[in-house]
A = this chain, B = another copy of it.
Amino acid sequence: MKETRLGEFEEVILLLVGILGEEAYAFKIAEEFQAQSGRASSIGSVHSTLDRLKEKGFLTSEMGQPTAERGGRRKRIYSITAEGKTALTSSRDFRLSLWNQYPGLSVDQLSFLS
C-alpha cells in the first residue's frame, strides 16, 4: 500500500527531467511534455507532480541563476536522485520483461529503431 508506485504522468515527467538536464524547469518540462506526447498539459499539474516526485525522493531542486530574458524570474531546476533513477530503471526492466513475453510487442528485434 505504501510502495511508491509511479503514475503514468509522473513517470513521464521524471523521465523528462532526466532528459532535459540543466533545462529541467517546470515551464520547459510542460512544453516538452506537450511536444513529445501530443497531450496538452497544464503548468499547474506539472507543478504538483514535481512536488509529489520530490516528496517521494525521486527529485531534488535548486534555484538557478536569473537569465537576461524578459520576464526572467529565476528558474527552479530539478534533478533526478539516485532513487529516481533506480525507480525508472526498474520500471523499464519490468516492462521490457513483460513485452518480451508477448510476441507482438517484443523489443528484441530492434524493430523500433528509426
Residues on A facing B (Cβ under 8 Å): 3, 5-8, 11-12, 15-16, 18-19, 36-37, 39, 85, 88-89, 92-99, 101-102, 104-105, 107-108, 110, 112-113
Contacts and interface: CB of A to CB of B under 8 A. Distances in A.
**How many copies of the shown chain assemble into the complex?**
2
A104 B39 CA distance: 25
Contacts of A18: 102, 104-105
Contacts of A104: 18, 85, 89
Nearest to A94: B37
Contacts of A101: 19
Nearest to A91: B8
A98 B19 contact: yes
